[in-house]
Structure 1
Amino acid sequence: MPFPRAKPVDDLYEDIAEYDLVVVPDAPLASALNRRLDRPHLGAFAITPRRLAAGRREEAEDRIAFLELVEETDIDWKRGAYAIGNILQCWEHQGRLDAILDYDAYVDDATRQAVEYIADLETTSSQLTEYRIDDDQDVAVVGYDQLTQLERSILPDEYDTYDTFDDRAFDRPPFHIFDSSTAIVDTVVDAVTRENADDVAVVLDQGSEFSALVESALEAADIPFYGGPGFVDDPDHRAFVQLLRAAHGGTDTRIGEIRPLLARLDSAVDVEHDEKRLYELDDPALDWVVDFCDRISDRTFTEALGSFEGRTGRRLDAFRDELETLGIDDTPATEPAVDRLVFYLQSYEVPVDRENEGVLLADAKSAAYVDRPVVFYLGLDEDWTHSAPRRPWVDRDAQYTRNIQQFQLLLQSGATQYYLVQDANGGSPVTPCLYFEELLDEEFERFSDLDSQTHSRRFDRTGEGFEKRPVDATTTEVSAISQSSLSTYVNSPRDHFFGRLVDGPDKDYFREGNLFHDFAEFYVTHPEFVDEAVIDDAVEHVLDETRPFVRSVDEATRRTKYRAGLETIVAFFEENAPVDGEFLTATSDWGTNAFAERFDRPVDSPVTERWFENDDLGVKGKIDLIHSPSQLVDHKSGRRKSASQIVTNSALDPPSDSPNFQALLYLTHWRSQYPDRELEFTFFHFLETLDDVVAGEADLDDTLTTVSYYPETFEAYVRSEAFFDELVEDGANKCQKTLSQVEYEDYAEVFAETDLPETTDSDELIDSAFGQTLTARMKDCVGDYKYVERGCKQAMRQLTRVRGRAFFEDDLDAFEVFVDERLAELNRRRAGEERFPIDGLGGEPNYRYVDNRDLLLEEDR
């Protein structure tokens, strides 16, 4: 259907100028018509039904009825509010107060009580019910379809109606598409000054992020505004409510959950503490908050408010008045009482005194008309769609008509309209308000499918993006990279970039992992000292150190976990004592060790916590244990991975979906120390057998995953006589049977005749020219038997298993080149020559491994 044009107010005024009374559905429209009145007029001219019946500014009767009900009865607040909402809504749509009683499913004792009390209240609905316009008045009704049944009940027998739309189509302005909500808000604030603020309105969904962003931006720019923040939006009101809730939040309340409150109280602590529990974090900045929470059960709401005022140095008179209005000012601030207060503040809009000047902030779901010359519309997404009441007394078709007409009128308010929207948010398309589907003749899924203009701060990869201004700054080149940084960078360069800029909270698993590593290092140095009593003490120390992160109900489980982990570490080293380290050069201590300090014994073993920074190769890291010149060990508290998973996750071209280069990077460094030696990298997952340790059935082998490195190419390795002998002796049955009947030279000749393809797919290898040549040669030597063909397939599957579970010379050579390329690329981006992209080498990042998800603002790239 066409998008009809709203009749201009001047034209509408010409139509109704001679009437005695004009009934309109929206107060701003009434005000606009009244401002155009050019003749003396006694009494109201243009007015809404409710204001006409009440003779004053209408009040929120649902709140008035609620306050009366909770004061006069002991009814549950939530039941009372539910009953009041149903009664008033049914009254609005059916025209009678007791109409709700016709719907048995919605009638209970609370409803009957509420009907009785509301009947005695002087509400605008009761005045509407009793009021009727005199028949001798010449009455015009504008927007009859937008009036409810109760509002229509005041109309005389005869009146004229005028539509709010005319026959012409609305020349809709284009959508202006921005990359982010902050860019939209910046655009609005840039266009507004103190001088023109009274000419500007901003329409937004008050439940969206735009509401807080616009208010804070206008406040920061010292531009007056009204119509936006309500009673509960006052920062001190919000902080006090949050303080009351935190006081009853229990011992599991985390610092991150109450960070806005702490900031308001000037009690903020470092972000590293965000995941720690309030009651377990020993910080003087939190003493007042903890004391308040501990004493909340002994305080009334007034006393709690007074304590908060004393802390902040600010009076909250409006909040104190509201507590008195609710009759709970001298009530103990128990958890149920706080829950009731929070419910009230979330359910009802408490009146606030406003200065009606400056930018008008209008709620998209409440306003139907905004009388300002310039109107900005922010968002216009699906959240602008009204949710029609699902009640039997509501005519849903009529309600939909009211809602969509309100939307049409709202979109055309003002002389100039600007629709400011996002096409995507968080990587997902933004769905336009559902009313557009009916109003527009076009097919669309997002704003960019419609008439639109894009305003994007793009960065061109040639370096010609934003205007550059020279700054006096230098960047330090990165000469070496760790395995964790490399993995993050390959997954998402921009996530890596923000990881260098943004501090994150401590994690319980980081603290646990560091303590387990410290214990392993301590045990290697002092195995004779560690007995059962030392392990008991170590368990308690780990518990003490992690207690800020752990719920008290989980402490027993954690104690079992920590003991099992420490005992598994001891068992591993008892069976696998490392070498003495005489082959290593001396090194200074790296970092501190919690158990060395606790037991006053130094850790000076050269084989543990060995830091390296290899600038020639561009890699750095810390080796947990050098078990021998040919074996490195890394202690892991996470889940065990197989050798094939480790090799797969180390892939370079293309990278794995979950890149992890630890084994590959450490072996590359260690190869530079021992170039011609076979090496092993072992992951020791000391918590892998936790359940078995508790059951007394643990097997250390289940905690270990070893990846080998062979100082030759893969083809040279599998072509060797040693590997051939391995296939003959340890291969699958048919493989042994086949190859035991041929000479090594017959096997080696296949490699001379045909190239071995680069693949870890056994079927691909079997179907390749190499696979066909091997099978043909073995049949020539042994005979054309079915077991020979099967034996060749088993041999080739063994080849691909070896390829997928170990590293070879060409793998480490390729990794060295890979690191050089990444470092060169990283340093270009650090110098500002090109942007850090969101996508990594493998395309879209794996967001499971992204640390700064909220900072990765996606757009068309």
Structure 2
Amino acid sequence: MPIRRTKDLDSLYDEVAGYDLVVVPDAPFASALDRRLDRPRFGSFAVTPRRLAAGRREQAEDRLAFLEIIDRSDHDWRAVAHAVGNALQCWEHRGSLDAILEYDGYSDGTTRDVVEMMRTIRTTSKRLTETVIDDDRSIAVVGYDQLTELERSILPETFDRVELFTDGEFEYPRFHVFESATDIVSALLDTITDRNAERVAVVLDGGSRYSSLVESAFEAAGIPFYGGPGFIDDPHHRAFIRLLRIGFRGTETTVGDCRPILAGMGSDVSIDDHQKRLDAVERPELEWIREFRLSVEERTFSEALGTYARKAGVELARFDEELRTLGIADEPVTSGGVDRLSYYVQTYEVPVDRDNEGVLLADAKSSAYVDRPVVFHLGMGREWTHSAPQRPWVDTEAQFERYVGNFQRLLQSGDRQYYLVQDTAGGDPVTPCLYFGDLIDEEFERFSDLESVQHRRRPRSTGVGFDRRPPDVDPETVETISQSGLNSYVNSPRDYLFGNLLDAPDQERFVEGNLFHDFAEFYVDHPDVIADTDIGELIDAMLEEAKPFVSSADETLRRRKYRIGLGLITEYLDDDGPESDAFLTGTSGWGDNFFAVYFDEAIDSPLTERWFEDHGLGVKGKIDLVKAPDHLLDYKSGGKKRTSQIVKRAAIDPPADTPNFQAALYLTYYRTVQPNEQLEFTFFHFLEPMDDVIAGEADLGDALTTVTYYPFTFDEYVGSRDAYETLLDGYNDCRETFDDLGYSAYCDVMGQLTFPETTDRNELRASEFAEEFTAAIDGGTSDDVDAEKGADQAIRELNGVRKRTFFREDLDAFETFVDERLEELNDRRAGEERFPVDGLAGEPNYRRVDNRDLLLAEERDD
């Protein structure tokens, strides 16, 4: 059905002006009609059923009922809130308070007690039940279908219905499509000033990113507004709740946990300290929080609030008043009490004093009419769609019709409407509000499929209003990328961007990993110094360095971990370390080394922590250890990976779910240092055998994973002597078959065939290659061997080599891949397109995302 046109407010007023009383579905609409009165009158003219019954401005009856019931009973607060919500909602839809007791799944003991107490509480719903409009007056009801069963109960037998809509169709304005929410808010700032604010309304989802962006932008620009943040949105209120929670977190509380509290004080701490334990960081601005945490249970809620208010230099009288309303102001602070308080302020809209001046911010799901000349509708995505109450007493079809009716009215609010939307968010299409699907006959998936105008960033545009002028600054070109940067970029370009824009805090795993790396580097250069030092002394130094991140309760386990890790690194380097560094030129060193500083010794070996940066290849990195001219090694404190996993995670078409290009990138660079040479890259997972060390059964080989690079193609490899020897070391039937066949015949067979590109076992077995290869092998061997089975095992064996080895074409393709990513990256840095959330493989692996809170993934479309 099309969008029905609402009646013009002036013509609707003319239609109802002769009535004694006009009943309407929502308060802003009633106020708009009242403002058109052309003569004085006694009493109400246009009014909602609830305001008429209550005789005053409507109040949040769910909160008032909750407060009354927790004061009169000992029931759990959550159970009371749940029961009050259900009872009021059922009352609204059924017209009777007792109706909730007809539903077995909802009439538990708490609900029955709540219903009994609500009989005497003067809620607006109770007043509605007791009120009927006198039929001696002329009554007009505007939008009868929008009223609920309880609201209709107030009406007399005789009244006239007045339709909200005409028979005409509303020609909705075109959509203004922007590239980001920030661009939309910037467009608002180009249009709205403190001089025209009283004429403007902004409709948005109160829980979306638009709300906080608009409020912050208006505050910064000095534009007055109202209807926005609520009681719990006050940063000091939120910080106080955070402070109470920190009081019960124990010694694992970090400095980062205290950031909102410190912000309320106008102070901050270095990002390096954010993940350090509060008790381990000695800073004056943190001392009072430590003292508060230790004494929190000795304070009342009111005393705790007073402490915060004094430290922040603010008055929090409204919060103190709410504590007294709840009856907990003079109660001792407890963990359960904090949970209840937090639940209350998150659940109920606590009244706040507002100056009703400036731009009106209206919630898209709470408003049906906005009486301002100019109305901006922001976002208009599926977050504007209501979730119909899934309760047996709700007529979902009738409720949906109310929602659609309100939505149609909201779209037409104002003399001029502007729809400001995005086509994509986080790299994904934005789904328009689902009501559009019922109201627009055209086929569409996104806003740009409808009549719209695009507002894109222009490198040097001169427009005003919706056409913003970006800064005339040439972007800096990225010429090289590290393996970690490439991993992040391929997983999620947006996360990579934030990782480069924002400083990252020190973290436990990085601190410990760096300590082990520094030890390995130092030991290669100074094994004699370590040999003459008590290992316990080194462990003490490491524990002191990691102390801000770890609890003292873990010290015994960490001592064992450090002792075993250092021992395994020492054992490996003693048994299988580099024999010479004569094949390398010297280097200038890389950063500080904890043990070099500790022992006051320099590190001069060119074998360790060797930095490279190749602008031709576009890669850079740091090699932990050059073990031999053809062999690199990297220390890993994490879990061991199989060789096939390392190669699989370096896949580029498509990338893996957990991309890791370290081996491919390092070997790509190092083959330019040692061209046409077979190379090896070993990952030494030095903590992998820790359990075996404790059991006395450690084998260093279990900690090593080595991936090989061959300087020739896989096609060249399969016909080589090396490949043939691999088959002779394979499964029994494979070994017998190819021993019988001989290398010369094998070489002839492979010279006439091309191994398929697929690595899928089933596809290989079903391929034409498999059929021809099996036939050739069968024809070249005796009946004493199972040639068919041997050929199948050979295909599996050769495919296994391919899946755990890098060949020349693999690293050639990787070089191209890096070039493409750098070109793409620089285009995005130049503003030609946004950095999307999704990577090359689609939705990012969020376990590998470092800036999860900044990706707005909750707004993604499925």
What range describes the TM-score normalised by the shorter chain of this pair? 0.7 to 0.9
CA distance in 2, matches of 1:766, 1:155: 78
CA distance in 2, matches of 1:207, 1:271: 28
> Which moved further from structure 2: 370-379 or 734-743?
734-743
**Per-residue CA distance 1:568-620 (angstroms, 9 max, x = gap):** 32332343243143454444443222234445555544433333445676654
Flag the 1:152–1:780 CA change in 2: closer, same or farther, 3 A.
closer
Letter in 1 for 2:452: Q
**Per-residue CA distance 1:303-354 (angstroms, 9 max, x = gap):** 2222222222221222222223333222222222222222221222222222
CA distance in 1, matches of 2:88, 2:739: 92
Residue 344 of structure 2: aligned partner: 344
Residue 463 of structure 1: aligned partner: none
Offset at residue 300 of structure 1 (A): 1.8
Letter in 2 for 1:342: S
CA distance in 1, matches of 2:507, 2:752: 53
Offset at residue 238 of structure 1 (A): 2.3
Asked if the contact 1:727–1:739 (Cα under 8 Å) also holds between the matched residues in 2, the reply is: no
Flag the 1:317–1:660 CA change in 2: closer, same or farther, 3 A.
closer
Residue 708 of structure 1: aligned partner: 708
Asked if the contact 2:611–2:621 (Cα under 8 Å) also holds between the matched residues in 1, the reply is: yes
What does 1:171-182 align with in structure 2 at a 5 Å threshold? 171-182=171-182
CA distance in 1, matches of 2:316, 2:201: 30
Q: How many residues align?
A: 850
Asked if the contact 1:497–1:836 (Cα under 8 Å) also holds between the matched residues in 2, the reply is: no
> Which moved further from structure 2: 245-254 or 535-544?
535-544
> Secondary structure of 1:251's partner?
helix
Residue 163 of structure 2: aligned partner: 163
Q: Percent identity?
A: 55
Asked if the contact 1:760–1:801 (Cα under 8 Å) also holds between the matched residues in 2, the reply is: no
Flag the 1:552–1:442 CA change in 2: closer, same or farther, 3 A.
farther
Letter in 2 for 1:361: L
What does 1:57-68 align with in structure 2 at a 5 Å threshold? 57-68=57-68
Residue 463 of structure 2: aligned partner: none
Flag the 1:818–1:377 CA change in 2: closer, same or farther, 3 A.
closer
Letter in 1 for 2:212: A
Asked if the contact 2:5–2:169 (Cα under 8 Å) also holds between the matched residues in 1, the reply is: yes
Letter in 2 for 1:45: F
Q: Residue 404 in 1 paired to residue 396 in 2? A: no
Letter in 2 for 1:210: Y
Residue 633 of structure 2: aligned partner: 633
Residue 363 of structure 1: aligned partner: 363
Offset at residue 152 of structure 1 (A): 3.2
> Which moved further from structure 2: 690-699 or 317-326?
690-699
> Which moved further from structure 2: 810-819 or 585-594?
810-819
Offset at residue 47 of structure 1 (A): 1.8
Gaps of 5+ in 1: 461-465
Residue 251 of structure 2: aligned partner: 251
Tell me the TM-score normalized by structure 2: 0.85
Asked if the contact 2:636–2:686 (Cα under 8 Å) also holds between the matched residues in 1, the reply is: yes
Letter in 2 for 1:47: V
Letter in 2 for 1:452: E
Flag the 1:363–1:675 CA change in 2: closer, same or farther, 3 A.
closer
Asked if the contact 1:625–1:632 (Cα under 8 Å) also holds between the matched residues in 2, the reply is: yes
CA distance in 2, matches of 1:575, 1:315: 68
Offset at residue 766 of structure 1 (A): 9.3
Which of the pair has more CA radius of gyration? 1
Residue 610 of structure 2: aligned partner: 610
Residue 213 of structure 2: aligned partner: 213
Asked if the contact 2:630–2:680 (Cα under 8 Å) also holds between the matched residues in 1, the reply is: yes
Residue 135 of structure 2: aligned partner: 135
CA distance in 2, matches of 1:270, 1:201: 40
Residue 354 of structure 1: aligned partner: 354
CA distance in 2, matches of 1:743, 1:785: 15
What does 1:62-461 align with in structure 2 at a 5 Å threshold? 62-96=62-96, 100=100, 106-107=106-107, 110-111=110-111, 114-115=114-115, 117-449=117-449, 451-457=450-456
Asked if the contact 2:677–2:711 (Cα under 8 Å) also holds between the matched residues in 1, the reply is: yes
Asked if the contact 2:300–2:330 (Cα under 8 Å) also holds between the matched residues in 1, the reply is: yes
Letter in 1 for 2:451: S
Gaps of 5+ in 2: 460-466
Flag the 1:588–1:101 CA change in 2: closer, same or farther, 3 A.
closer
Residue 686 of structure 2: aligned partner: 686
What does 1:46-57 align with in structure 2 at a 5 Å threshold? 46-57=46-57
Tell me the TM-score normalized by structure 1: 0.85
> Secondary structure of 1:595's partner?
helix
Offset at residue 467 of structure 1 (A): 9.4
Residue 23 of structure 1: aligned partner: 23
CA distance in 2, matches of 1:792, 1:473: 60
Letter in 1 for 2:15: D
Offset at residue 193 of structure 1 (A): 2.0
Flag the 1:411–1:775 CA change in 2: closer, same or farther, 3 A.
closer
Residue 462 of structure 2: aligned partner: none
What does 1:391-790 align with in structure 2 at a 5 Å threshold? 391-449=391-449, 451-457=450-456, 475=476, 478=479, 481-488=481-488, 496=496, 498-527=498-527, 530=530, 534-550=534-550, 558-598=558-598, 603-613=603-613, 619-650=619-650, 659-667=659-667, 669-675=669-675, 678-710=678-710, 726=725, 730=729, 733=732, 737=736, 754=752, 759=757, 761=759, 787=786
CA distance in 2, matches of 1:440, 1:638: 55
> Which moved further from structure 2: 664-673 or 291-300?
664-673
> Which moved further from structure 2: 65-74 or 838-847?
838-847
Letter in 2 for 1:216: S
CA distance in 2, matches of 1:105, 1:813: 65
CA distance in 1, matches of 2:807, 2:820: 21
Asked if the contact 2:427–2:838 (Cα under 8 Å) also holds between the matched residues in 1, the reply is: no
Offset at residue 637 of structure 1 (A): 2.0
Flag the 1:816–1:319 CA change in 2: closer, same or farther, 3 A.
closer
> Secondary structure of 1:295's partner?
helix
Offset at residue 182 of structure 1 (A): 2.4
Offset at residue 626 of structure 1 (A): 2.8
Asked if the contact 1:6–1:165 (Cα under 8 Å) also holds between the matched residues in 2, the reply is: yes
Residue 7 of structure 1: aligned partner: 7
Asked if the contact 2:494–2:835 (Cα under 8 Å) also holds between the matched residues in 1, the reply is: yes
**Per-residue CA distance 1:712-759 (angstroms, 9 max, x = gap):** 6666666666766x36864555555555567766555667x6486685
CA distance in 2, matches of 1:473, 1:176: 28
Offset at residue 91 of structure 1 (A): 4.1
CA distance in 1, matches of 2:131, 2:740: 109
CA distance in 2, matches of 1:53, 1:47: 10
> Which moved further from structure 2: 167-176 or 598-607?
598-607
CA distance in 2, matches of 1:286, 1:526: 41
Letter in 2 for 1:65: A
Residue 38 of structure 2: aligned partner: 38
Offset at residue 453 of structure 1 (A): 1.0
CA distance in 2, matches of 1:439, 1:489: 41
> Secondary structure of 1:195's partner?
coil
**Per-residue CA distance 1:653-703 (angstroms, 9 max, x = gap):** 776665544334444555555557554322211233344334433322221
Asked if the contact 1:6–1:412 (Cα under 8 Å) also holds between the matched residues in 2, the reply is: yes
Offset at residue 500 of structure 1 (A): 3.3
**Per-residue CA distance 1:533-567 (angstroms, 9 max, x = gap):** 94444445444444544567766655554444333
Letter in 1 for 2:381: D
Flag the 1:14–1:294 CA change in 2: closer, same or farther, 3 A.
same
> Which moved further from structure 2: 47-56 or 528-537?
528-537
Flag the 1:504–1:159 CA change in 2: closer, same or farther, 3 A.
same
> Which moved further from structure 2: 350-359 or 483-492?
483-492
> Secondary structure of 1:12's partner?
helix
> Secondary structure of 2:623's partner?
strand
Asked if the contact 2:727–2:794 (Cα under 8 Å) also holds between the matched residues in 1, the reply is: no
CA distance in 1, matches of 2:392, 2:202: 35
